[in-house]
Amino acid sequence: MTVYETERLTVRLWTHDQGDLDRMSDLYSRREVTRWLPPFFAFEAAPAVDGWRAFHERDRRFGSWAVEVRDTGVAAGTVLFRPIPGGEGEIEVGWHFHPDSWGNGYATEAARGAVERGFASGLEEVYALTMPGNEASIAVCRRLGMTPLGRTRRFFDLESEMFHLPRTDAGLP
């Protein structure tokens, strides 16, 4: 099921299709990806699909969705848009992409689509959290026009770089 589309991408629910399960397993088993995720992040593809689908069904504004490149049909990664666990209602945009899809602007494009969709639903602001030193994700935050708020330990009991984008700064009505 398609959640939204951008110029080059279809953002959709992950499925139990073997191709999706294999791609998810490959993505979330790569050290170059998991080094930027919380150390308690445990991943099994089929339960993740079930959990992410159930989360989206509870409130269709939010989810962890597959980012598919329209020209190739390849699931390049995941974009997430959700309340930050343990937060006070802050909404987070985030992304995890397979290394074979890095450097194409997919994270920025998918995240921008999620943010625009969120603002269209009435949200007034969006946040992003990155691990310190994750320069690629920090660059995505900058390309999205997000303002750095500095380091925090408010979420996940981990030090994170926090970014903020109010609707008024997004250039949207």
Positions in the chain short of pLDDT 70: 40-42, 171-173
Q: What is the pLDDT of residue 40?
A: 63
What values do phi and psi take at 72, rounded to 5? Answer: -115, -20
Q: What is the pLDDT of residue 43?
A: 72
Q: What is the pLDDT of residue 172?
A: 54
Q: What is the pLDDT of residue 85?
A: 86
Q: What is the pLDDT of residue 24?
A: 93
Write down all domains in the chain, each with its CATH number in brackets: 2-169 (3.40.630.30)
Please state the pTM of the whole predicted model. 0.93
